[in-house]
Chains A and B, each alone.
Chain A
Amino acid sequence: MATANREQIIELDVRTDELLVNMGPQHPSTHGVLRLVLKTDGEIVTHVEPHIGYLHRCAEKIGENLTPRQWIPYTDRMDYLAAMNMNLGWSLCVEKLLQYELPEKARHLRVIIAELGRIASHLVGMGAYGLDLGTFSPFLYAFREREKILNLFEEACGARLTNSYITPGGATADLPPGWLEKCEAFLDQFEPVIAEYHALLTTNAIFIQRTAGIGVMSAEMAIDYGCTGPVLRGSGVDHDLRRDGEERYTEMYDGYAFEVIVQKDGHYPRDHDYPPVPPEAVLGDCWHRFYVRMLEVVQAIDIIRQGIEFYRSAEGDWGHPIKLNTKLPKGEVYLETECPRGQMGFYLVSDGSAIPWRTRARSSCFCNLSVTEELCRGCLLADVPAIVGSLDIVMGEIDR
Protein backbone atom coordinates (compact mmCIF):
# COMPACT_ATOMS: atom_id res chain seq x y z
CA MET A 1 0.00 0.00 0.00
CA ALA A 2 1.05 3.61 -0.14
CA THR A 3 2.24 3.64 3.43
CA ALA A 4 4.35 0.47 2.96
CA ASN A 5 7.70 2.09 2.44
CA ARG A 6 7.01 5.30 4.36
CA GLU A 7 9.53 5.76 7.09
CA GLN A 8 8.32 4.47 10.40
CA ILE A 9 9.14 6.83 13.27
CA ILE A 10 10.03 4.89 16.39
CA GLU A 11 10.09 6.69 19.71
CA LEU A 12 13.41 5.84 21.31
CA ASP A 13 14.34 6.46 24.84
CA VAL A 14 17.67 8.17 25.41
CA ARG A 15 20.31 5.41 25.22
CA THR A 16 21.79 4.98 28.70
CA ASP A 17 24.41 2.41 29.53
CA GLU A 18 24.20 0.39 32.68
CA LEU A 19 26.36 1.18 35.67
CA LEU A 20 27.97 -1.81 37.37
CA VAL A 21 28.04 -0.93 41.05
CA ASN A 22 29.63 -2.87 43.89
CA MET A 23 27.80 -2.76 47.23
CA GLY A 24 29.99 -4.39 49.87
CA PRO A 25 31.71 -6.48 51.10
CA GLN A 26 32.70 -3.80 53.53
CA HIS A 27 29.45 -1.82 53.15
CA PRO A 28 27.74 -0.46 56.27
CA SER A 29 24.29 -1.71 55.40
CA THR A 30 24.99 -5.30 54.44
CA HIS A 31 25.00 -6.87 57.89
CA GLY A 32 28.53 -8.17 57.73
CA VAL A 33 30.60 -9.18 54.75
CA LEU A 34 28.08 -9.60 51.95
CA ARG A 35 28.93 -8.27 48.51
CA LEU A 36 26.09 -7.33 46.17
CA VAL A 37 27.02 -6.64 42.54
CA LEU A 38 24.27 -4.40 41.21
CA LYS A 39 23.64 -3.50 37.58
CA THR A 40 21.79 -0.19 37.80
CA ASP A 41 20.20 1.94 35.11
CA GLY A 42 20.30 5.29 36.90
CA GLU A 43 18.56 4.59 40.22
CA ILE A 44 16.69 1.48 38.97
CA VAL A 45 18.47 -1.75 39.88
CA THR A 46 18.18 -4.15 36.99
CA HIS A 47 20.20 -7.09 38.31
CA VAL A 48 21.49 -8.07 41.75
CA GLU A 49 24.05 -10.81 42.32
CA PRO A 50 25.02 -11.58 45.94
CA HIS A 51 28.57 -12.86 46.53
CA ILE A 52 29.04 -14.74 49.81
CA GLY A 53 31.82 -16.75 51.33
CA TYR A 54 33.87 -13.98 52.88
CA LEU A 55 33.21 -15.40 56.36
CA HIS A 56 33.60 -19.11 55.47
CA ARG A 57 35.50 -20.88 58.28
CA CYS A 58 35.03 -24.53 57.16
CA ALA A 59 33.01 -25.38 60.32
CA GLU A 60 31.70 -28.54 58.62
CA LYS A 61 35.18 -29.85 57.76
CA ILE A 62 36.33 -29.25 61.36
CA GLY A 63 33.20 -31.03 62.58
CA GLU A 64 34.62 -34.24 61.14
CA ASN A 65 37.50 -34.23 63.68
CA LEU A 66 35.69 -33.14 66.85
CA THR A 67 33.27 -34.95 69.14
CA PRO A 68 29.76 -33.40 69.19
CA ARG A 69 30.27 -31.61 72.49
CA GLN A 70 33.50 -30.08 71.18
CA TRP A 71 31.65 -28.77 68.11
CA ILE A 72 29.21 -26.70 70.22
CA PRO A 73 31.43 -23.55 70.18
CA TYR A 74 31.40 -23.74 66.37
CA THR A 75 27.62 -23.66 66.33
CA ASP A 76 27.70 -20.47 68.50
CA ARG A 77 29.76 -18.71 65.87
CA MET A 78 27.33 -19.52 63.06
CA ASP A 79 24.44 -17.23 63.99
CA TYR A 80 26.37 -15.20 66.58
CA LEU A 81 23.29 -13.10 67.37
CA ALA A 82 21.28 -16.13 68.48
CA ALA A 83 24.02 -18.47 69.72
CA MET A 84 21.70 -20.14 72.24
CA ASN A 85 19.29 -21.31 69.56
CA MET A 86 22.18 -22.71 67.52
CA ASN A 87 23.45 -24.73 70.47
CA LEU A 88 19.93 -25.96 71.10
CA GLY A 89 19.62 -27.17 67.52
CA TRP A 90 22.87 -29.11 67.57
CA SER A 91 22.21 -30.56 71.05
CA LEU A 92 18.75 -31.82 70.03
CA CYS A 93 20.24 -33.35 66.87
CA VAL A 94 22.89 -35.26 68.87
CA GLU A 95 20.29 -36.34 71.47
CA LYS A 96 18.08 -37.55 68.64
CA LEU A 97 20.91 -39.74 67.37
CA LEU A 98 21.62 -41.03 70.89
CA GLN A 99 17.89 -41.38 71.62
CA TYR A 100 18.81 -39.57 74.86
CA GLU A 101 16.02 -38.96 77.39
CA LEU A 102 16.06 -35.40 78.75
CA PRO A 103 14.97 -34.62 82.34
CA GLU A 104 11.87 -32.42 82.73
CA LYS A 105 13.69 -29.44 84.23
CA ALA A 106 16.22 -29.29 81.39
CA ARG A 107 13.42 -29.03 78.86
CA HIS A 108 11.92 -25.93 80.48
CA LEU A 109 15.35 -24.40 81.04
CA ARG A 110 16.03 -24.74 77.33
CA VAL A 111 12.71 -23.12 76.39
CA ILE A 112 13.40 -20.11 78.62
CA ILE A 113 16.91 -19.67 77.28
CA ALA A 114 15.94 -20.21 73.63
CA GLU A 115 13.11 -17.67 73.75
CA LEU A 116 15.36 -15.13 75.50
CA GLY A 117 17.82 -15.67 72.64
CA ARG A 118 14.98 -15.06 70.19
CA ILE A 119 14.14 -11.73 71.82
CA ALA A 120 17.78 -10.65 71.79
CA SER A 121 18.16 -11.60 68.13
CA HIS A 122 14.94 -9.85 67.07
CA LEU A 123 16.07 -6.72 68.93
CA VAL A 124 19.23 -6.64 66.84
CA GLY A 125 17.19 -7.30 63.69
CA MET A 126 14.89 -4.39 64.52
CA GLY A 127 17.71 -2.00 65.43
CA ALA A 128 19.82 -2.85 62.38
CA TYR A 129 16.81 -2.47 60.10
CA GLY A 130 16.22 1.01 61.49
CA LEU A 131 19.89 1.69 60.73
CA ASP A 132 19.44 0.53 57.14
CA LEU A 133 16.62 2.99 56.68
CA GLY A 134 18.62 5.83 58.11
CA THR A 135 17.40 6.30 61.68
CA PHE A 136 20.01 5.64 64.33
CA SER A 137 18.10 5.95 67.58
CA PRO A 138 16.03 2.70 67.57
CA PHE A 139 19.32 0.78 67.23
CA LEU A 140 20.47 2.14 70.56
CA TYR A 141 17.14 1.57 72.28
CA ALA A 142 17.20 -2.03 71.04
CA PHE A 143 20.73 -2.60 72.26
CA ARG A 144 19.90 -1.12 75.65
CA GLU A 145 17.35 -3.90 76.17
CA ARG A 146 19.57 -6.51 74.56
CA GLU A 147 22.31 -5.69 77.06
CA LYS A 148 20.00 -6.74 79.87
CA ILE A 149 19.38 -10.10 78.20
CA LEU A 150 23.09 -10.60 77.64
CA ASN A 151 23.67 -9.88 81.33
CA LEU A 152 21.16 -12.61 82.15
CA PHE A 153 23.03 -15.00 79.83
CA GLU A 154 26.31 -14.02 81.43
CA GLU A 155 24.95 -14.93 84.84
CA ALA A 156 23.70 -18.25 83.53
CA CYS A 157 26.73 -19.41 81.58
CA GLY A 158 29.50 -16.85 81.94
CA ALA A 159 29.54 -15.72 78.29
CA ARG A 160 27.47 -12.92 76.75
CA LEU A 161 27.57 -13.60 73.01
CA THR A 162 29.14 -16.98 72.18
CA ASN A 163 27.79 -18.78 75.21
CA SER A 164 28.11 -22.51 74.46
CA TYR A 165 25.58 -23.12 77.22
CA ILE A 166 23.08 -25.66 75.92
CA THR A 167 25.01 -28.90 75.24
CA PRO A 168 23.86 -32.43 74.33
CA GLY A 169 22.38 -33.80 77.52
CA GLY A 170 21.11 -30.50 78.97
CA ALA A 171 23.17 -27.45 79.77
CA THR A 172 26.63 -26.79 81.15
CA ALA A 173 25.28 -25.31 84.40
CA ASP A 174 22.04 -24.79 86.21
CA LEU A 175 20.42 -21.37 86.45
CA PRO A 176 21.93 -19.54 89.45
CA PRO A 177 19.55 -18.78 92.34
CA GLY A 178 17.70 -15.49 91.87
CA TRP A 179 18.12 -15.68 88.11
CA LEU A 180 14.42 -16.35 87.52
CA GLU A 181 13.40 -13.32 89.54
CA LYS A 182 15.84 -11.17 87.58
CA CYS A 183 14.42 -12.59 84.36
CA GLU A 184 10.88 -11.75 85.45
CA ALA A 185 11.95 -8.25 86.44
CA PHE A 186 13.47 -7.81 82.98
CA LEU A 187 10.28 -8.99 81.27
CA ASP A 188 8.08 -6.69 83.36
CA GLN A 189 10.07 -3.60 82.45
CA PHE A 190 10.56 -4.71 78.85
CA GLU A 191 6.88 -5.04 77.93
CA PRO A 192 6.01 -1.31 77.88
CA VAL A 193 9.23 -0.54 75.99
CA ILE A 194 7.94 -2.47 72.98
CA ALA A 195 5.24 0.18 72.53
CA GLU A 196 8.13 2.66 72.10
CA TYR A 197 9.62 0.59 69.29
CA HIS A 198 6.25 0.44 67.55
CA ALA A 199 5.89 4.20 67.80
CA LEU A 200 9.46 4.74 66.58
CA LEU A 201 9.39 2.39 63.63
CA THR A 202 6.40 0.16 62.91
CA THR A 203 3.78 2.91 62.75
CA ASN A 204 6.19 5.68 61.67
CA ALA A 205 4.90 7.23 58.44
CA ILE A 206 8.32 7.43 56.77
CA PHE A 207 9.17 3.86 57.82
CA ILE A 208 5.91 2.67 56.30
CA GLN A 209 6.64 4.61 53.13
CA ARG A 210 10.07 2.96 52.89
CA THR A 211 8.94 -0.59 53.58
CA ALA A 212 5.24 -1.07 52.75
CA GLY A 213 4.81 -2.66 49.37
CA ILE A 214 8.57 -3.03 48.84
CA GLY A 215 10.12 -6.44 48.09
CA VAL A 216 6.77 -8.24 48.00
CA MET A 217 7.31 -12.01 48.09
CA SER A 218 4.43 -14.37 47.37
CA ALA A 219 3.90 -17.39 49.64
CA GLU A 220 4.62 -19.77 46.75
CA MET A 221 7.93 -18.05 45.98
CA ALA A 222 8.93 -18.05 49.65
CA ILE A 223 8.34 -21.80 49.94
CA ASP A 224 9.97 -22.48 46.58
CA TYR A 225 13.18 -20.76 47.69
CA GLY A 226 13.12 -22.58 51.02
CA CYS A 227 12.73 -19.38 53.04
CA THR A 228 11.80 -20.03 56.62
CA GLY A 229 11.06 -18.19 59.84
CA PRO A 230 9.70 -14.62 59.91
CA VAL A 231 10.51 -14.29 56.17
CA LEU A 232 8.14 -17.20 55.42
CA ARG A 233 5.50 -16.18 57.93
CA GLY A 234 5.74 -12.61 56.61
CA SER A 235 4.36 -13.99 53.35
CA GLY A 236 1.40 -15.55 55.13
CA VAL A 237 2.56 -19.22 55.28
CA ASP A 238 1.38 -20.76 58.56
CA HIS A 239 4.50 -22.84 59.30
CA ASP A 240 6.31 -22.74 62.64
CA LEU A 241 8.48 -25.68 63.73
CA ARG A 242 7.68 -25.09 67.40
CA ARG A 243 4.20 -26.38 66.58
CA ASP A 244 4.57 -28.44 63.37
CA GLY A 245 8.19 -29.54 63.76
CA GLU A 246 9.75 -32.85 64.70
CA GLU A 247 8.49 -34.82 67.64
CA ARG A 248 11.70 -34.34 69.65
CA TYR A 249 11.55 -30.54 69.14
CA THR A 250 7.82 -29.96 69.63
CA GLU A 251 7.76 -32.00 72.84
CA MET A 252 9.97 -29.22 74.33
CA TYR A 253 7.05 -26.82 73.85
CA ASP A 254 4.41 -29.26 75.20
CA GLY A 255 2.07 -27.49 77.60
CA TYR A 256 3.04 -24.00 76.37
CA ALA A 257 0.13 -21.92 75.03
CA PHE A 258 1.32 -19.78 72.14
CA GLU A 259 -0.05 -18.81 68.73
CA VAL A 260 2.00 -18.80 65.56
CA ILE A 261 2.50 -15.21 64.40
CA VAL A 262 1.15 -15.22 60.87
CA GLN A 263 -1.56 -13.33 59.03
CA LYS A 264 -4.33 -15.94 58.79
CA ASP A 265 -7.48 -14.91 56.90
CA GLY A 266 -6.68 -11.26 57.07
CA HIS A 267 -5.56 -10.68 60.64
CA TYR A 268 -2.75 -11.46 63.01
CA PRO A 269 -3.41 -13.25 66.33
CA ARG A 270 -5.20 -10.84 68.67
CA ASP A 271 -3.90 -12.08 72.04
CA HIS A 272 -2.33 -8.64 72.63
CA ASP A 273 -3.24 -5.20 71.27
CA TYR A 274 -0.72 -4.90 68.44
CA PRO A 275 -0.56 -1.76 66.28
CA PRO A 276 -2.85 -2.07 63.24
CA VAL A 277 -1.55 -3.07 59.79
CA PRO A 278 -1.32 0.07 57.62
CA PRO A 279 -3.41 0.04 54.40
CA GLU A 280 -0.30 0.37 52.17
CA ALA A 281 1.25 -2.83 53.56
CA VAL A 282 0.87 -5.78 51.19
CA LEU A 283 1.23 -9.32 52.63
CA GLY A 284 4.79 -10.52 52.02
CA ASP A 285 6.45 -7.09 51.88
CA CYS A 286 9.30 -5.78 54.05
CA TRP A 287 6.88 -4.24 56.52
CA HIS A 288 5.14 -7.54 57.25
CA ARG A 289 8.44 -9.38 57.79
CA PHE A 290 9.43 -6.66 60.27
CA TYR A 291 6.01 -6.79 61.90
CA VAL A 292 6.16 -10.60 62.38
CA ARG A 293 9.49 -10.21 64.17
CA MET A 294 8.13 -7.54 66.46
CA LEU A 295 5.12 -9.72 67.33
CA GLU A 296 7.31 -12.75 67.93
CA VAL A 297 9.09 -10.76 70.66
CA VAL A 298 5.78 -10.41 72.53
CA GLN A 299 5.01 -14.09 71.90
CA ALA A 300 8.44 -15.02 73.30
CA ILE A 301 7.74 -13.00 76.46
CA ASP A 302 4.55 -15.01 77.08
CA ILE A 303 6.40 -18.30 76.51
CA ILE A 304 9.20 -17.31 78.91
CA ARG A 305 6.68 -16.41 81.61
CA GLN A 306 5.06 -19.84 81.29
CA GLY A 307 8.52 -21.44 81.15
CA ILE A 308 9.52 -19.81 84.44
CA GLU A 309 6.42 -21.21 86.13
CA PHE A 310 7.09 -24.69 84.69
CA TYR A 311 10.77 -24.52 85.66
CA ARG A 312 9.89 -23.60 89.25
CA SER A 313 7.45 -26.50 89.57
CA ALA A 314 9.58 -29.08 87.72
CA GLU A 315 11.80 -31.38 89.82
CA GLY A 316 14.80 -33.56 88.98
CA ASP A 317 18.25 -32.37 87.94
CA TRP A 318 18.86 -29.83 85.21
CA GLY A 319 20.41 -32.26 82.74
CA HIS A 320 24.12 -32.89 83.05
CA PRO A 321 25.92 -32.87 79.73
CA ILE A 322 26.82 -36.23 78.17
CA LYS A 323 30.39 -37.49 78.60
CA LEU A 324 32.88 -35.99 76.17
CA ASN A 325 33.63 -39.16 74.20
CA THR A 326 30.31 -41.00 74.28
CA LYS A 327 30.18 -43.43 71.38
CA LEU A 328 27.70 -42.34 68.71
CA PRO A 329 25.54 -45.18 67.31
CA LYS A 330 25.97 -45.81 63.58
CA GLY A 331 23.38 -43.97 61.47
CA GLU A 332 22.44 -40.48 60.38
CA VAL A 333 19.99 -37.95 61.67
CA TYR A 334 18.65 -34.54 60.56
CA LEU A 335 16.81 -32.12 62.81
CA GLU A 336 15.57 -28.58 62.25
CA THR A 337 14.73 -26.08 64.96
CA GLU A 338 12.89 -22.75 64.76
CA CYS A 339 15.66 -20.19 65.19
CA PRO A 340 14.95 -16.44 65.23
CA ARG A 341 16.00 -16.12 61.59
CA GLY A 342 14.41 -19.30 60.31
CA GLN A 343 14.78 -23.07 60.44
CA MET A 344 18.36 -24.02 61.31
CA GLY A 345 18.92 -27.69 60.39
CA PHE A 346 21.76 -29.99 61.55
CA TYR A 347 22.58 -33.21 59.66
CA LEU A 348 24.80 -35.65 61.55
CA VAL A 349 26.19 -38.85 59.98
CA SER A 350 28.11 -41.17 62.29
CA ASP A 351 29.97 -44.38 61.59
CA GLY A 352 29.80 -45.71 65.13
CA SER A 353 32.90 -43.94 66.55
CA ALA A 354 32.81 -40.99 68.98
CA ILE A 355 33.64 -38.59 66.16
CA PRO A 356 30.92 -37.89 63.57
CA TRP A 357 31.61 -38.85 59.94
CA ARG A 358 29.90 -35.73 58.56
CA THR A 359 28.35 -32.67 60.23
CA ARG A 360 26.27 -30.43 57.99
CA ALA A 361 24.55 -27.20 59.05
CA ARG A 362 21.59 -26.01 56.97
CA SER A 363 21.46 -22.21 57.33
CA SER A 364 18.12 -20.39 57.25
CA CYS A 365 19.67 -17.08 56.08
CA PHE A 366 21.39 -18.96 53.23
CA CYS A 367 17.99 -19.68 51.67
CA ASN A 368 16.50 -16.35 52.72
CA LEU A 369 19.33 -14.54 50.97
CA SER A 370 18.90 -16.56 47.77
CA VAL A 371 15.66 -14.63 47.24
CA THR A 372 17.40 -11.25 46.78
CA GLU A 373 18.18 -11.92 43.12
CA GLU A 374 14.52 -12.11 42.23
CA LEU A 375 13.19 -9.72 44.86
CA CYS A 376 15.50 -6.78 44.10
CA ARG A 377 15.07 -6.88 40.34
CA GLY A 378 13.64 -3.54 39.18
CA CYS A 379 13.65 -1.87 42.58
CA LEU A 380 15.34 1.43 43.41
CA LEU A 381 18.87 1.61 44.73
CA ALA A 382 17.63 2.78 48.13
CA ASP A 383 15.32 -0.26 48.34
CA VAL A 384 18.14 -2.82 48.17
CA PRO A 385 19.27 -2.28 51.79
CA ALA A 386 15.60 -2.11 52.79
CA ILE A 387 14.90 -5.54 51.23
CA VAL A 388 18.15 -7.19 52.34
CA GLY A 389 17.64 -5.71 55.81
CA SER A 390 14.12 -7.11 56.03
CA LEU A 391 15.50 -10.62 55.38
CA ASP A 392 17.57 -10.10 58.55
CA ILE A 393 20.59 -12.12 57.43
CA VAL A 394 23.71 -12.94 59.44
CA MET A 395 26.78 -13.74 57.38
CA GLY A 396 28.28 -16.07 59.98
CA GLU A 397 25.40 -18.47 59.50
CA ILE A 398 25.38 -18.21 55.70
CA ASP A 399 29.10 -18.81 55.19
CA ARG A 400 29.57 -21.25 58.14
Chain B
Amino acid sequence: MLLGTFDLHTFLFVLFALTACLFAAGVLFSSNIVRMAFHLVLSLGSSAGLFFLAGAEFVGAMQLMIYVGGTLVLLVFGVMLTAQHRFLEMRTNAGEWVLSLVVGGALLMVLLQAAFSVSQWNTPNTERSQLAVDESKAATPIGAALAGVRVDKLQQKDAHLRAGMSGYLMPFVIVSMHLLVVLVGAAYLARPRMAVRNPKGGG
Protein backbone atom coordinates (compact mmCIF):
# COMPACT_ATOMS: atom_id res chain seq x y z
CA MET B 1 0.00 0.00 0.00
CA LEU B 2 2.99 2.20 0.53
CA LEU B 3 4.29 2.11 -3.02
CA GLY B 4 0.90 2.46 -4.65
CA THR B 5 0.51 6.19 -4.42
CA PHE B 6 3.90 7.75 -4.87
CA ASP B 7 3.82 11.53 -4.45
CA LEU B 8 5.95 14.24 -2.90
CA HIS B 9 4.20 13.98 0.42
CA THR B 10 4.87 10.28 0.99
CA PHE B 11 8.42 10.61 -0.26
CA LEU B 12 9.19 13.37 2.23
CA PHE B 13 7.38 11.49 4.96
CA VAL B 14 9.50 8.40 4.37
CA LEU B 15 12.64 10.52 4.20
CA PHE B 16 12.00 12.24 7.53
CA ALA B 17 10.85 9.07 9.23
CA LEU B 18 13.93 7.16 8.08
CA THR B 19 16.35 9.88 9.19
CA ALA B 20 14.64 10.07 12.57
CA CYS B 21 14.88 6.31 13.13
CA LEU B 22 18.39 5.90 11.74
CA PHE B 23 19.82 8.69 13.82
CA ALA B 24 17.98 7.43 16.86
CA ALA B 25 19.74 4.12 16.26
CA GLY B 26 22.89 6.16 15.73
CA VAL B 27 22.51 7.54 19.23
CA LEU B 28 22.45 3.98 20.55
CA PHE B 29 25.32 2.57 18.62
CA SER B 30 27.86 5.39 18.51
CA SER B 31 30.45 5.20 21.29
CA ASN B 32 31.70 8.80 21.03
CA ILE B 33 29.55 10.82 23.38
CA VAL B 34 29.64 13.99 21.25
CA ARG B 35 28.61 12.07 18.16
CA MET B 36 25.80 10.57 20.20
CA ALA B 37 24.55 14.03 21.15
CA PHE B 38 24.74 15.19 17.55
CA HIS B 39 22.75 12.19 16.32
CA LEU B 40 20.11 13.04 18.90
CA VAL B 41 19.95 16.56 17.49
CA LEU B 42 19.43 15.24 13.97
CA SER B 43 16.77 12.73 14.94
CA LEU B 44 14.73 15.31 16.88
CA GLY B 45 15.21 17.76 14.03
CA SER B 46 13.79 15.28 11.52
CA SER B 47 10.83 14.58 13.81
CA ALA B 48 10.21 18.33 13.71
CA GLY B 49 10.21 17.91 9.94
CA LEU B 50 7.47 15.31 10.35
CA PHE B 51 5.35 17.86 12.22
CA PHE B 52 5.81 20.42 9.46
CA LEU B 53 4.87 17.78 6.92
CA ALA B 54 1.67 17.09 8.81
CA GLY B 55 0.82 20.76 8.51
CA ALA B 56 1.28 21.54 12.22
CA GLU B 57 3.85 24.36 11.86
CA PHE B 58 3.23 25.64 15.36
CA VAL B 59 4.14 22.31 16.95
CA GLY B 60 7.01 21.84 14.49
CA ALA B 61 8.46 25.25 15.32
CA MET B 62 7.86 24.53 19.00
CA GLN B 63 9.80 21.27 18.70
CA LEU B 64 12.63 23.04 16.91
CA MET B 65 12.83 25.88 19.35
CA ILE B 66 12.36 24.08 22.63
CA TYR B 67 13.71 20.61 22.01
CA VAL B 68 16.45 21.11 19.53
CA GLY B 69 17.23 24.76 20.15
CA GLY B 70 16.93 24.63 23.92
CA THR B 71 17.45 21.33 25.68
CA LEU B 72 19.83 19.82 23.13
CA VAL B 73 21.99 22.94 23.06
CA LEU B 74 22.45 22.58 26.80
CA LEU B 75 22.96 18.84 26.42
CA VAL B 76 25.69 19.35 23.80
CA PHE B 77 27.06 22.14 25.97
CA GLY B 78 27.31 19.80 28.93
CA VAL B 79 28.70 16.98 26.82
CA MET B 80 31.34 19.28 25.38
CA LEU B 81 32.54 20.28 28.82
CA THR B 82 32.83 16.74 30.12
CA ALA B 83 33.90 14.98 26.92
CA GLN B 84 37.49 14.70 28.05
CA HIS B 85 39.44 11.40 27.96
CA ARG B 86 37.62 8.97 30.20
CA PHE B 87 34.08 10.04 29.24
CA LEU B 88 34.83 10.06 25.53
CA GLU B 89 34.76 6.37 24.74
CA MET B 90 31.99 4.55 26.54
CA ARG B 91 32.08 0.82 26.06
CA THR B 92 29.00 -1.27 26.76
CA ASN B 93 29.84 -4.81 27.69
CA ALA B 94 27.99 -7.89 26.44
CA GLY B 95 25.68 -8.27 29.44
CA GLU B 96 24.20 -4.83 28.91
CA TRP B 97 23.60 -5.55 25.22
CA VAL B 98 21.49 -8.59 26.00
CA LEU B 99 19.48 -6.77 28.65
CA SER B 100 18.85 -3.75 26.43
CA LEU B 101 17.83 -5.96 23.49
CA VAL B 102 15.31 -7.76 25.61
CA VAL B 103 13.74 -4.62 27.07
CA GLY B 104 13.90 -2.76 23.75
CA GLY B 105 12.37 -5.65 21.85
CA ALA B 106 9.52 -5.94 24.31
CA LEU B 107 8.69 -2.26 24.02
CA LEU B 108 8.88 -2.50 20.21
CA MET B 109 6.44 -5.41 20.19
CA VAL B 110 3.97 -3.44 22.28
CA LEU B 111 4.19 -0.44 19.97
CA LEU B 112 3.82 -2.51 16.79
CA GLN B 113 0.85 -4.35 18.15
CA ALA B 114 -0.79 -1.06 19.14
CA ALA B 115 -0.05 0.48 15.75
CA PHE B 116 -1.60 -2.36 13.77
CA SER B 117 -4.65 -2.57 15.97
CA VAL B 118 -5.74 0.94 14.92
CA SER B 119 -8.31 0.36 12.13
CA GLN B 120 -7.78 3.40 9.90
CA TRP B 121 -4.04 3.00 9.72
CA ASN B 122 -3.93 -0.27 7.85
CA THR B 123 -6.64 0.41 5.29
CA PRO B 124 -5.38 2.28 2.23
CA ASN B 125 -6.27 5.89 2.82
CA THR B 126 -7.71 7.08 -0.42
CA GLU B 127 -7.69 10.80 0.10
CA ARG B 128 -4.14 10.92 1.46
CA SER B 129 -2.99 12.75 -1.62
CA GLN B 130 -5.44 15.61 -0.86
CA LEU B 131 -3.50 16.49 2.30
CA ALA B 132 -1.66 19.17 0.38
CA VAL B 133 0.92 21.11 2.27
CA ASP B 134 -0.97 24.38 2.19
CA GLU B 135 -4.09 22.97 3.85
CA SER B 136 -2.46 23.72 7.19
CA LYS B 137 -4.79 25.11 9.82
CA ALA B 138 -4.00 28.60 11.11
CA ALA B 139 -2.39 28.68 14.56
CA THR B 140 -4.13 31.82 15.65
CA PRO B 141 -7.30 30.02 16.86
CA ILE B 142 -5.07 27.86 19.08
CA GLY B 143 -3.42 31.02 20.44
CA ALA B 144 -6.78 32.64 21.12
CA ALA B 145 -8.02 29.43 22.76
CA LEU B 146 -4.97 29.44 24.97
CA ALA B 147 -5.98 32.96 25.96
CA GLY B 148 -9.39 31.67 26.96
CA VAL B 149 -11.49 32.50 23.83
CA ARG B 150 -12.62 29.52 21.80
CA VAL B 151 -12.86 31.38 18.47
CA ASP B 152 -13.02 28.11 16.49
CA LYS B 153 -16.32 27.23 18.18
CA LEU B 154 -17.99 30.64 17.74
CA GLN B 155 -20.62 29.07 15.46
CA GLN B 156 -21.75 26.63 18.21
CA LYS B 157 -25.50 26.99 18.09
CA ASP B 158 -26.77 25.94 21.46
CA ALA B 159 -25.88 28.44 24.18
CA HIS B 160 -25.41 25.84 26.88
CA LEU B 161 -22.48 24.14 25.09
CA ARG B 162 -20.84 27.40 24.10
CA ALA B 163 -20.92 28.61 27.68
CA GLY B 164 -18.86 25.58 28.76
CA MET B 165 -16.00 26.34 26.41
CA SER B 166 -13.77 28.57 28.48
CA GLY B 167 -10.65 27.83 26.45
CA TYR B 168 -7.40 26.34 27.78
CA LEU B 169 -6.29 29.23 29.97
CA MET B 170 -6.63 27.38 33.26
CA PRO B 171 -4.77 24.17 32.23
CA PHE B 172 -2.12 26.33 30.54
CA VAL B 173 -1.47 28.25 33.75
CA ILE B 174 -1.45 25.08 35.87
CA VAL B 175 1.07 23.40 33.59
CA SER B 176 3.42 26.42 33.61
CA MET B 177 3.26 26.70 37.40
CA HIS B 178 3.97 23.00 37.68
CA LEU B 179 6.95 23.31 35.35
CA LEU B 180 8.35 26.17 37.41
CA VAL B 181 8.12 24.15 40.62
CA VAL B 182 9.78 21.17 38.96
CA LEU B 183 12.64 23.33 37.68
CA VAL B 184 13.29 24.88 41.08
CA GLY B 185 13.19 21.42 42.65
CA ALA B 186 15.60 20.03 40.07
CA ALA B 187 18.02 22.90 40.65
CA TYR B 188 17.83 22.29 44.41
CA LEU B 189 18.35 18.52 44.07
CA ALA B 190 21.22 18.92 41.68
CA ARG B 191 23.14 20.87 44.32
CA PRO B 192 26.34 18.81 44.85
CA ARG B 193 26.36 17.57 48.46
CA MET B 194 28.72 15.09 50.04
CA ALA B 195 27.97 13.39 53.33
CA VAL B 196 31.14 13.39 55.43
CA ARG B 197 31.37 11.58 58.79
CA ASN B 198 32.35 14.18 61.33
CA PRO B 199 36.15 13.88 60.89
CA LYS B 200 37.30 14.99 64.33
CA GLY B 201 34.78 12.90 66.28
CA GLY B 202 34.51 15.60 68.97
CA GLY B 203 32.11 18.61 68.98
Please list the residues of chain A having a beta carbon within 8 angstroms of any beta carbon in chain B: 1, 3-14
Contacts and interface: CB of A to CB of B under 8 A. Distances in A.
Contacts of B193: 9-12
A131 B199 CA distance: 54
B197 interface: yes
A9 B198 CA distance: 9
B202 interface: yes
A14 B194 CA distance: 11
Give the top 8 A-B pairs by smallest Cβ distance, nearest first.
A7-B195, A12-B192, A8-B198, A12-B194, A8-B196, A9-B193, A10-B196, A14-B192
Given A4-B202, A13-B192, 17 more contacts: A1-B203, A4-B198, A4-B203, A5-B197, A6-B198, A7-B197, A8-B195, A8-B196, A8-B197, A8-B199, A9-B195, A9-B196, A10-B196, A11-B193, A12-B192, A12-B193, A14-B192
Contacts of A11: 191-193
Contacts of B201: 4-5
6 contacts: A7-B195, A8-B196, A10-B193, A10-B194, A11-B192, A13-B192
A15 to B, nearest CB: 8
Contacts of A14: 192
A3 B192 CA distance: 23
A13 B191 CA distance: 8
Nearest to A9: B193
Interface in B177-203: 191-199, 201-203
A3 B202 CA distance: 9
A288 B193 CA distance: 44
A124 B192 CA distance: 50
B44 to A, nearest CB: 27
A7 B194 CA distance: 10
Contacts of B198: 4-8
A11 B199 CA distance: 15
Nearest to A17: B84
